[in-house]
Amino acid sequence: MEQLKAKIEEELRSSNGRIGLAIEIEGESFYVNSEEVFQSASLIKLPILIEAFRQSEMGKLNVNELVSITNHAGGSGVLQAFSRDALLTIKDLMTLMITVSDNTATNLLIDKLGMDTIRRSFEKMGLKHTALNRKMMDFEAIEQGLDNYTSPLDMMTCLRIVKEGDFLAKQSREAALRILSHQQFQDRLPAMMEFDRVKVANKTGSLPHIEHDCAVITNNGKTATAYAVVLMDQLDDAFVGKQKISRIGKHIFDYLVEKS
């Protein structure tokens, strides 16, 4: 992994923003500012997804329940274009929250799951730097200094929860990975990967001057798995940040392919 580290370190030397990353591949790891706290942007939706599956397993949440789309949050997503009498299942909301980062779906899920319950579950997951302090597009809360936060290491923990371990049952983990694998925003970590050679399950996040991505990357037909988290803020140019994350993703892809 030393060669991969060297390539990523070269990328970091030319970075004009703050960057935190955590990469783990088959027992080897590479961390940079991994416990630094960043605004989470839409990465906060990943642990919310985990909590939804946890409550489903406990019988507290029926993912087949139909929900009326009563309020449109705006921002990213498609539900803001739906009619106000549209009905979707909670599973649909979970899927839209991740695949198109739908803010309306996210806010409906926060109401269903309970914000305080979600926060307590973050502690049970072992997340040390992740905080849900507001709903999506809540500009009044932002003006009051309330925001959502996470760290590269916490996002690494979330990726591991959906891929392995016993926080979620196997069926829930597989369902969560399926949702993440249908991600529509692939302009960061997966942007320069060949999808006939690897499978990618990822979640992005963006705000002004902020670009994030986290992913589980597996070699097709192989056992090698990479967990990758890259968080960037203080960016002068968001496109440059996306390009940087894409190049890091390409280095990880090349390393995985070489191992096969």
State the Cα–Cα distance between residues 229 and 203, nearest whole angstrom. Answer: 10
Q: Which amino acid is located at 162 in the chain?
A: V
- Per the structure block, which two tokens stand in for 62? 């029926």
CATH number at residue 253: 3.40.710.10
Residue pair 45/97 in contact (Cβ under 8 Å)? The answer is: yes
In the chain, the number of structural domains is 1
Tens of pLDDT, residue by residue, the chain (260 residues): 899 999 999 999 887 899 999 999 999 999 999 999 999 999 999 999 999 999 999 999 999 999 998 877 767 789 988 887 889 999 999 999 999 999 999 999 999 999 999 999 999 999 999 999 999 878 788 788 899 999 999 999 999 999 999 999 999 999 999 999 999 999 999 999 999 999 999 999 999 999 999 999 999 877 789 999 999 999 999 999 999 999 999 999 999 998 76
Nearest to 222 by CA among 171, 177, 175, 259: 259
- Per the structure block, which two tokens stand in for 54? 């946890």
Q: Which residues pair with 57 in a beta bridge?
A: none
Residue pair 107/115 in contact (Cβ under 8 Å)? The answer is: no
Q: What pLDDT is attached to residue 246?
A: 98
Q: What pLDDT is attached to residue 124?
A: 97
Nearest to 189 by CA among 154, 159, 163, 148: 159
Q: What is the pTM for the complete model shown?
A: 0.95
Q: What pLDDT is attached to residue 112?
A: 97
Domain extent, residue 203, equals: 2-259
DSSP line for the chain? -HHHHHHHHHHHHT-SSEEEEEEEETTEEEEESTT--EE-GGGGHHHHHHHHHHHHHTTS--TT-EEE------SSSSGGGS-TT-EEEHHHHHHHHHHS--HHHHHHHHHHH-HHHHHHHHHHHT-SS-B--S-TT-HHHHHTT---EE-HHHHHHHHHHHHSSSSS-HHHHHHHHHHHHT-S--SSTTTT--TTTEEEEEEEEEETTEEEEEEEEEETTS--EEEEEEEEES-S-HHHHHHHHHHHHHHHHHHHHHH-
Q: What pLDDT is attached to residue 260?
A: 66
Sign of the torsion angle spanned by Cα atoms 67, 176, 103, 185: negative
